[in-house]
Structure 1
Amino acid sequence: MRRTLLAVAVLAAVGPAVADDAPHTLNIAPQSVNDALKVLAAETHLQIFSDGEALKGKTTAGLNGVYTAREALQQLLVGTGLSYRFTAENAVAVKAAENGSDATTTMPAVKVVGRYRFDPNSPDNPGYARTNSATASKTDTPIMQTPMSIKVVPKTVLDDQQAVVFDDAVTRNVSGVQRNFEFGDLYQGFIVRGFSLGANIYRDGLRQHAGYFEPAGMERIEVLKGAAAMLYGRTQPGGLVNYVTKKPRDEAHYSLQQQFGSFDMYRTTVDATGPVNEDKSLLYRLNVAYLSQNSFRDYNENERIYVAPSLTWRISDRTEATIQLEHQHDDYVMDFGIPALGNRPAPLPKGFYVGDEQLRLSSMDSNQIATNLSHRFNDHWKIEHKFNWHQWDHQFNSIFPAGSLNGDNRTINRALTTGPTDRETFATSLDLAGEFETYGLRHKLLIGGDYFHLKTNTYDNHWTYGAIPALDVFEPNNHLIDMNAVNAIPYDFWWKEKDEWYGVYAQDQITLWDKVHFLIGGRYDILSYGTGCCAATSQISDHEDNRLNPRFGIVYQPWQWLSVYGNYVESIGSNNGLTPTNANNKPELGEQYEAGLKTEFFDGRFTSNLAYYHLTKENMLTGVPGLPYRIPIGAARSQGVELDLTGEITDYLSMVGTYAYADARVTKDNGFAPWGLASKQGKRLPNVPEHSGSLWLTYHSDEHLKVGAGMFAQGKRAGDNDNTYDLPGFVRLDAMVSYSWNLSRSKLTTQFNVNNLLDKEYYRGSRASDRTGALPGEPISFIGSVRVDY
């Protein structure tokens, strides 16, 4: 048979090697291989020579997405029985595969990396949807087979929205989540399904305590709805927020970004990763961020330094160890918001500041060491050990409101807090996970244990009332403080806190007929906790509780795209605190019933979760106005419906959509009239709107231009525990545009975001225990960015 080499394309212009050139947006329909190669050659300027006889009768499934020339060629030849070999930098020969041919002539294993054909859970996936999560089960389980509500916010969404603040990334993209505004906005916290999570944020599945968390080191954020105590110990019944850190990678990548925005905001980030040695057994990553900004709030500013190096050692093909270091320093101003007047926040300028210019700048230093050691015995069994040490030091310098507005409705009394607080946590876990079959049932078994220890020491502090002049809120004078008089005040406040537990747990995920998935688990905790206040000689009086927390769930998956699920879970909470009689509170207890539907379309590129939940909480605590105490008010119930939609609607249109209906109320009030607390029975839980939702859309017809817009809305919310005033509802509009250029092996991206496009006045949240402060939302603001990746 005569064999003829047919040139199906010629190079249109001389250029650099195209086999690994910049990516191209390609849309090649299913057709004959011969015709498809012609299209590929025309689009990529790749010279393709082929054996005409070998191509006869061969067809390809085509492709649609962003590929380099080599990747596109691999994808087009999948399943055709053809191989290729590069004969020059920009020329390739395609012919029939031969048995025993060497690696240079046989097509290598295909790894599809087009925009819409990525591994959906790869860090490189530019889409919004993720199909797997380990947060809900501590095993890498498809979300469709997990009987819990879990929402993943990937780095792509954070980048598109330029989410430089961690809590914005969560509240804008996850249904049923609000910002928790505590004393002076001291730390980042959330309200999930009506209940505050306190200061507890999880990092790679291990609990931290208090702080502000820098998004530059985050790969994605995962929010688990509902009680998670079976796996994570003392957690609040609403759920938990866990962020997954960036890890070292075996392919070199470098990124430098400069952001600039309203209120003199400047932020620089660096992300560098790659192999240290040739065999790629040693990998590194370095994330750095620097932030400097003022604010629309008077006398408010922030400066941050963040450095996070990490190293991974591939000890063998089955054993891997990673160590991560992290240091973060923040200089910032504690913000107590705007006091209430009548049934609304007082009609004051957005910039109103209750403090004083002489005593306003606080600081935080956070240091972490985290390790992860894993060993895979075989393809079915794995053991993993995690450890995290977190030290958080805070230096208070602030004036705060000492109660609500006075009877004249224009002056407010003030107090001061100064001095250090040191917090230290240790968290560790050991998990053994394996897969096996018994009598036709597939099992995914998890057996593990963990330990957590928190120690807080507030010492040599001022918590002083009466020494600070009252402030006229309508004509504020923020220059009344005499620092010599402040420094002469004797120390009068000390606080100690301890929280410790040991937990063991077991969980089995059972699959029957490939359609029914059961989750059965239980955990036993030994808890020790205590608080001491308020003299230097105060000692912690230890208290101990033991608790068994079960969890049951079921998923029925009649088709691959649909799952029907339900769960029942119990939890033991993490809030204790001290009563005015120096008694320690019992832990809060939670119980949840949930049912819902999940869908997954377009090969996992578009997902949804619709859930109904009924959640109760006993031994619920509330703060005492003007004092650092917490007392149990009884019980509360939250029930509602949540909807999350995430992914690619078309090849060019991506979206994140959320909606939540929440009915969250106090159902039982023990009554504490001696401390001036009115009955709260039937009251709505603060900062929880009945209706809330968001929508974010981006359109990207090619790899260069992307435009996006979205809205974020919340209904009217109770401003405090007693429901004496409300935060008004609002709708905020945002928008973005970005453009990228491919420069040899580099990529330059410019981006511009506008937040609160219509300059809507709104409030992010309020302090729940009293009427002293509602935190205004940011007015119209801009963020620009220039980023280079190579």
Structure 2
Amino acid sequence: MIYFSGIGYKRLKQVLDIEAGKQQELTVVLAVEELGLQQVEILGRKGNSYKSDYTFGATKTATYLKDVPQAVSIVTKELMADRQVTKAWEVTKMMSGVNRYSNYNDIVIRGFRSGENQPRLINGLRAAFGYFDQPVTANLERVEVIKGPASALFGNAVPGGTINFVTKKPLAEKRSGLTFSAGSFNNLRAAADFTGPLAKDSTILFRLNAAYANAESFRDLQFSENFMLAPSFSFMPSRKTSINVDLVFSHNNSRIDRGQPVFGATASNDIFSTPISLAIAAPNDFYKVRNLQLNAGMTHEFSEQLSLNVSYMKFGWDEKLLEHRTSNIFAVDGQGKEIPTKVAMQVFDRIQRLSSDNINGFFRQKLEHGIFKHTILLGYDHVQQVRPQGSSQHVARGYRNASNTAVLSSFDPANPSAYLLDEVGNPVPNVAHFDLNNVQYPIRNTDGYLFSPTVFAPSKYMINAVYLQDQIVINKWQVLLGLRQEFYTDFSNYKLEGQTSVTQKALIPRIGMIYSVSPTINVYSTYTAGYQPQSPSTFTNPNNGGPFDPSTSNMIEAGAKGSFFSDRLAMNVSVYQIKQKNVLVTANDPVNPDLLRQRGAEQSSGFELEAVGNIMSNLSINANYAYNEAIITRGLATEVGLQKANAPKHLANLWIKYNFIQGQLSGLGFGAGLNHSSRRNTEVLRLQVPSYTSFDAAAYYTLDKLRLGLNFNNVFNKRYWIAGFNHTRIFPGEPRNMMVSITKQF
């Protein structure tokens, strides 16, 4: 008796009668396993297409994308490599309905911001990323965005969508590769990827990804240096048990780019009034971040119908910062009038740490009753994030008092005698204003500032949840039912005398339905809800003004998903409406620039088109278009009916690559694409960021296992901005630049 099995195929048992001295031939045909053998993603993906056929994140079990009743955008490692993407949020220009809100770890999905304190997932588990650092892509298999509220799966989640970073896993065959790149702005990069079996029977596999990048910028004083090391191991001690362990260490040394200032509103709203290179910083500023991530996943099959999946992730993050930055307002004169050429400044000197633990476990049971086929998940989630003792910051801002011994947060022209005044009667700032008419970058001596110390009280938030999900197949129909009961507890003064806690709970549903029009086309509809407890007073600046009421949301979506050209090309269309209540936004308070307020309600309605994969074996495409009307429906009278900040109505992205596979040009390839965004509002009503279209191009040459690549971005040197906050912070896109790379596979 012989057993035949393989990843993606059903196990086959074959009985043979063998006679001595006789040669026998045996033909074996393995049936395709609908969902493969992996339930936790243990082994790496062998495909090399822009198209990813499946997702684990959207249902917590291996599911083909066409069988998920919800839009999911995926960027694979192959597309990232062709575009020479090294920072995670560069993938936004390859996804439908996704764009940047700033230079930070801060994006917009279907018109809703996913920024500070919003969940980021790694392999479906919650991580504690900082607000200003982006993950590198060298160890990423793909980046997924699950559109709409995903609270029924992951707890508190933003209504626009949830981001999931999927790391590379070991392969059962030996592969290795080295990549070296260099380009504009003194950009230097190196990456290595090694994988293969450690045991002859392939029961132990390994993968090692490492990367180093050092780059300057078209922006004054900006630079970044990144290092990442990521070993991964997969263990398969038996056919029924598989285990994967990832360890990722990354270090980032840089400065925070707070954007380009333009002249104040009393002068003009002309964002072309200053060069895009202009940044507010000091040469002695720094931003240093370290991340350490341990991720382990295990699946065990008790039988073909019942399995157990358990995952755990420990994520540690620490930050050291010295930063001269804008106060988000302009200087004032002795009459209290804005001086539009001088930006008011503040200084942060900060040390802080965060750690998170995420445990997820679920049983998967397959059942059949007549025409009904069930895949049932019963699971439990535990998430906690802790800010320990020792996190603190010093802040210098405002104006000096008359005796030059203390600071007043803002200037009151009715009481000038309370302030230290200069020779012309203007208040003297605690930190010298940044003069847009006389830009200088001297080393700033912080000893002369009057700092206000803040010690962050140790804090913790904790999530405990149980969830039930059933994927039901009834002939051509599929139904997805999900229900999650979540308990959220927020601790302040954690483990100290005077500790307090607030507990909230929510019951979160998810309902989806799919109909198979043909073997290659599915249509679907879905309803899902979202829930976000608010805790900015605990986890961010205490001046924010919290605590706030929780934010709730819901989405209705319908669409169609199809596979064409012999399953090489996936095409999707979706129509949706998302509503959210109790939204946190900046209060635009001139006295307290950190103050937030809660807006009543917002609504996002639109549609998305997406095509990704291969039209021919040597013609790859990634194309999408999104129309989104994201408006404020309840709030201040001056804002109701307006399009939300940094939420364009129109987004379009295109990338096409063609490779010659025959003749004298064999091995040569070309790529070209564009990115378009319509104009966007900023957080200040009178300031807008204009629309733009930028074009990129690339050329490739492959000889045996050596590949040369040349990428040109913004070929026509379009001057554009990706987003904007206010007159002191708009975020320009890169001017024309290039990158050359050489990759050797062994």
Aligned residue in 1 for 2:393: 461
**Within 5 A, what are the aligned runs for 1:238-387?**
238-341=160-263, 342-345=268-271, 347-358=273-284, 360-387=285-312
For the structure 1 residues 586 and 323, does the alpha-carbon distance in structure 2 shift closer, same or farther, using more than 3 Å as the test?
same
SS in structure 2 at match of 1:139: coil
**Within 5 A, what are the aligned runs for 1:67-216?**
106=26, 123-169=45-91, 171-181=92-102, 185=103, 187-199=104-116, 200-211=119-130, 212-216=134-138
Question: Aligned partners of 1:650, 1:273: CA distance in 2, in Å?
Answer: 29
Aligned residue in 1 for 2:728: 772
- Native 8 Å contact 2:395 2:452 kept in 1: no
Aligned residue in 1 for 2:652: 693
CA drift at 1:475: 2.0
Question: Aligned partners of 2:20, 2:302: CA distance in 1, in Å?
Answer: 33
- Native 8 Å contact 1:567 1:594 kept in 2: yes
Aligned residue in 1 for 2:362: 431
CA drift at 1:517: 0.7
SS in structure 1 at match of 2:616: coil
For the structure 1 residues 789 and 616, does the alpha-carbon distance in structure 2 shift closer, same or farther, using more than 3 Å as the test?
same
Residues 115-164 of structure 1: CA deviation (Å, up to 9, x unaligned): xxxxxx97232222222212211121122221100122111101111111
For the structure 1 residues 378 and 555, does the alpha-carbon distance in structure 2 shift closer, same or farther, using more than 3 Å as the test?
same
Question: Aligned partners of 1:266, 1:555: CA distance in 2, in Å?
Answer: 47
SS in structure 1 at match of 2:81: helix
SS in structure 2 at match of 1:157: helix
CA drift at 1:216: 0.5
For the structure 1 residues 105 and 122, does the alpha-carbon distance in structure 2 shift closer, same or farther, using more than 3 Å as the test?
farther
Question: Aligned partners of 1:103, 1:572: CA distance in 2, in Å?
Answer: 66
Question: Aligned partners of 1:786, 1:103: CA distance in 2, in Å?
Answer: 49
For the structure 1 residues 364 and 153, does the alpha-carbon distance in structure 2 shift closer, same or farther, using more than 3 Å as the test?
same
For the structure 1 residues 490 and 604, does the alpha-carbon distance in structure 2 shift closer, same or farther, using more than 3 Å as the test?
same
CA drift at 1:583: 4.2
Query: Given residue 726 of structure 1, which amino acid in structure 2 is its aligned partner?
Result: Q
Query: Given residue 785 of structure 1, which amino acid in structure 2 is its aligned partner?
Result: S
Instruction: Name structure 2 gaps, 5 residues minimum.
Output: 1-17, 33-42, 332-337, 399-429
Question: Aligned partners of 1:473, 1:108: CA distance in 2, in Å?
Answer: 75
Residues 394-417 of structure 1: CA deviation (Å, up to 9, x unaligned): 111101111333423211110000
SS in structure 1 at match of 2:298: strand
TM-score by length of 1: 0.80
- Native 8 Å contact 2:711 2:740 kept in 1: yes
For the structure 1 residues 654 and 468, does the alpha-carbon distance in structure 2 shift closer, same or farther, using more than 3 Å as the test?
same
SS in structure 2 at match of 1:337: coil
- Native 8 Å contact 1:454 1:498 kept in 2: yes
Query: Given residue 123 of structure 2, which amino acid in structure 1 is its aligned partner?
Result: D
Question: Aligned partners of 2:23, 2:157: CA distance in 1, in Å?
Answer: 53
CA drift at 1:772: 2.6
**Within 5 A, what are the aligned runs for 1:324-723?**
324-341=246-263, 342-345=268-271, 347-358=273-284, 360-406=285-331, 407-456=338-387, 459-466=391-398, 467-479=430-442, 481-486=444-449, 489=451, 491-492=453-454, 494=456, 497-513=459-475, 515-529=476-490, 541-573=500-532, 575-578=534-537, 583-625=546-588, 626-669=592-635, 679-702=638-661, 704-720=667-683, 722-723=684-685
Residues 678-725 of structure 1: CA deviation (Å, up to 9, x unaligned): 8532232111101111010000132722210000110000111x4221
For the structure 1 residues 259 and 102, does the alpha-carbon distance in structure 2 shift closer, same or farther, using more than 3 Å as the test?
farther
Residues 714-760 of structure 1: CA deviation (Å, up to 9, x unaligned): 0000111x422111111110111111111xxxx11111101111111
Question: Aligned partners of 1:556, 1:101: CA distance in 2, in Å?
Answer: 55
Query: Given residue 477 of structure 2, which amino acid in structure 1 is its aligned partner?
Result: V
For the structure 1 residues 538 and 352, does the alpha-carbon distance in structure 2 shift closer, same or farther, using more than 3 Å as the test?
farther
- Native 8 Å contact 1:216 1:289 kept in 2: yes
- Native 8 Å contact 2:460 2:492 kept in 1: yes
Residues 608-637 of structure 1: CA deviation (Å, up to 9, x unaligned): 111111100011111244443432121111
Query: Given residue 386 of structure 1, which amino acid in structure 2 is its aligned partner?
Result: S
Q: 1:724 aligns with which of 686, 695, 698?
A: 686
Query: Given residue 56 of structure 2, which amino acid in structure 1 is its aligned partner?
Result: A
CA drift at 1:481: 2.2
Q: 1:737 aligns with which of 699, 704, 718?
A: 699
CA drift at 1:480: 6.2
Question: Aligned partners of 2:656, 2:499: CA distance in 1, in Å?
Answer: 52
Show structure 1 runs of 4+ deviating over 4 A. 98-112, 530-533, 537-540, 579-583
Aligned residue in 1 for 2:719: 761
More deviation, 547-556/650-659? 650-659
Question: Aligned partners of 1:343, 1:155: CA distance in 2, in Å?
Answer: 41
Question: Aligned partners of 1:592, 1:771: CA distance in 2, in Å?
Answer: 34
Question: Aligned partners of 1:785, 1:274: CA distance in 2, in Å?
Answer: 24
CA RMSD of aligned residues (A): 2.5
Query: Given residue 620 of structure 2, which amino acid in structure 1 is its aligned partner?
Result: S
Query: Given residue 373 of structure 1, which amino acid in structure 2 is its aligned partner?
Result: M
Instruction: Name structure 1 gaps, 5 residues minimum.
Output: 1-97, 113-120, 672-677
Aligned residue in 2 for 1:49: none
SS in structure 2 at match of 1:612: strand
TM-score by length of 2: 0.84
Query: Given residue 506 of structure 2, which amino acid in structure 1 is its aligned partner?
Result: R
Larger Rg: 1
- Native 8 Å contact 2:660 2:669 kept in 1: yes
SS in structure 2 at match of 1:491: strand
- Native 8 Å contact 1:381 1:434 kept in 2: yes
Number of matched residues? 661
SS in structure 1 at match of 2:397: strand
SS in structure 2 at match of 1:172: helix
Question: Aligned partners of 1:620, 1:532: CA distance in 2, in Å?
Answer: 26
For the structure 1 residues 691 and 279, does the alpha-carbon distance in structure 2 shift closer, same or farther, using more than 3 Å as the test?
same
For the structure 1 residues 436 and 766, does the alpha-carbon distance in structure 2 shift closer, same or farther, using more than 3 Å as the test?
same
- Native 8 Å contact 1:607 1:645 kept in 2: yes
Question: Aligned partners of 2:608, 2:628: CA distance in 1, in Å?
Answer: 8
Residues 511-530 of structure 1: CA deviation (Å, up to 9, x unaligned): 111x1111111000001125
SS in structure 2 at match of 1:220: strand
CA drift at 1:427: 0.9
SS in structure 2 at match of 1:609: strand
Query: Given residue 362 of structure 1, which amino acid in structure 2 is its aligned partner?
Result: Y
Question: Aligned partners of 2:457, 2:594: CA distance in 1, in Å?
Answer: 9
Question: Aligned partners of 2:299, 2:568: CA distance in 1, in Å?
Answer: 30
Query: Given residue 381 of structure 1, which amino acid in structure 2 is its aligned partner?
Result: L
Residues 642-701 of structure 1: CA deviation (Å, up to 9, x unaligned): 1111111123211001101111111111x5xxxxxx853223211110111101000013
SS in structure 1 at match of 2:447: helix
- Native 8 Å contact 1:570 1:591 kept in 2: yes
